[in-house]
Structure 1
Amino acid sequence: MTSVEMTPVPRSTVVAYRDDGVLSRAMGTLVLGQLPPLPPALVGMFVTGVLLMVGVAGTDGLAVFAPAAALLLAGPGSSHPHDGRIDWLVPPILRLTEYGFVASVGFAHDVPPGLIFLLLGAMAFHHYDVVYRVRQRVYPPAWLATLGLGWDGRMLLIALGGLVGQVTLVFALLPLYLWGLFGWESITCWLAAPRSGADAADLGAHD
């Protein structure tokens, strides 16, 4: 079987859409799926927004704590099956948190708008690709979220750039890495995917 065929089926499509990195998944293992995912994701978005507003408006050093706040609050919910009636809201909340953080930090540190949009574009391409392929049961490999850093890893990397005064450098290098990774993986995945609808529907049936 090809590597595409051996990709395990996600616990749920909502979990696949979360795009958790290593740290978020590790925190999820600590609570064994017992923490409902929506409330902490909402609180994480709220705390991140407050820190960004305070940081951008005044001492922008506070803004670098936003990823840690979001991770500590939303990360543990990653192990939950997301089978609640409105748990589908969790991925959009995480996207809003991540995109808002990236844009706020970029513009606050006078990063060239082109670099900001390149980074946002790489993330949006990846998230759209994941949504489309999950609907087609062509599931992304587990290592993609790890190498792609996840929403948590990307936010922490940008925060690290802010701490060491290298935000523009991070915004220049991270899009190149993510576009290369996500673009290459997406192209190779779809080229390896079966052409027939029946075969494509069976892609997720293999462990």
Structure 2
Amino acid sequence: MITHPQAPPVPAPDPDEERRRIQTARLLAYRDDGPLVALLRDKMGPGLPPVATGLAALLAVAAIGVSGVLSPGTGAVMLLPVLAMVVLMVPTAPRDHLGRFDWLLPPLIRGTEFLAIIVLGLAAGTPKWLLFVLIYVIGYHTYDTVYRTRQSIWPAPWVFQAGLGWEVRLLLLGAGAALGVLTWVVAVMSVYLGVLFAIESITSWVRLDKETALAQASDDLEASPEEALEQATGEADGKA
């Protein structure tokens, strides 16, 4: 008798480990880190505590905003809120984000990013409606990312790199404010990010709909004649 070698059984993944992996992946996606964080993440050791550092960054940006030190013509001083957030928040990236309150970090990052945009924009005299457009575009990207991951649909990594990440966006805005051209930087960034996020999101959802339709069609073709007859009979009875 000829026997065929048996493939070794594949061990089932540990449910708790899988849950932790998914939780970490989601929170990292919600952070919306960009190329600078990707470059430095593995070079910063264990990193800083996420939530405490996030709160410190939020308070620092708020304090700079109300201090009155930001105004047109102050040059490099306009970089203060940006540098405060980048210096504090980038070192939190290496953490595993599995702490009890680490789910608070993405809202802290997004809220601090929005606050920094508002503080810079108001200090530089950028039109408020233009600031709203930029915040709306980034907010749409955040909502799209959250909704996708809840459907187990993960945005491609290149989206976060092409979207610049919160850190590069803020550095560009800070540089624009320091050079007195923040309005133009906000306008260009709003158009670029709006087109990028909209096209990528639409094409991803359309592709998903096509894949779902093809899978459904394949299931229908694989159904036995008895199942097809039973389904057709049930539909006829329902119409009657």
> TM class by shorter-chain length?
0.7 to 0.9
Q: Which amino acid aligns with 2:148?
A: R
CA distance in 1, matches of 2:193, 2:23: 22
Equivalent-residue separation in structure 2 for 1:25 and 1:44 (angstroms)? 20
CA contact (8 A) 1:30 1:76 kept: no
Whose relative contact order is higher, 1 or 2, with alpha carbons under 8 Å and at least 6 apart?
1
Matched, 1:195 2:212: yes
* Alignment: residue pair count: 188
Q: Is this contact kept in 2: 1:51–1:63, CA < 8 A?
A: no
Provide the residue aligned with 2:115 in structure 1.
100
Is the Cα–Cα contact under 8 Å of residues 32 and 80 in structure 1 kept in the other structure? no
TM (norm. structure 2) is 0.72
Among 76, 82, 86, the residue aligned to 1:67: 82
2:69 aligned partner, one-letter code = G
Do structure 1's residue 43 and structure 2's residue 56 form an aligned pair? yes
The C-alpha deviation readout for 1:12-63, integer Å capped at 9, x for no partner, is: 2111100011112333222344543222222222222222222xx2343434
Aligned-CA RMSD value: 2.1
Deviations along 1:102-122, one digit per CA (max 9) or x if unpaired, are 112112222122211110110
Query: 5 Å matches for 1:1-20?
Result: 11-20=24-33
1:12·1:81 contact (CA, 8 Å) conserved in 2? no
Aligned to 2:212, what secondary structure does the other structure show?
coil
Q: 1:25 aligns with which of 38, 41, 57?
A: 38
- Percent same amino acid at aligned positions? 34
CA distance in 1, matches of 2:38, 2:127: 33
Match runs of 1:38-187 below 5 Å: 38-54=51-67, 57-60=68-71, 61=74, 62-187=77-202
User: Who wins on radius of gyration, i.e. which is larger?
Assistant: 2
5+ long unaligned stretches in structure 1: 1-8, 200-207
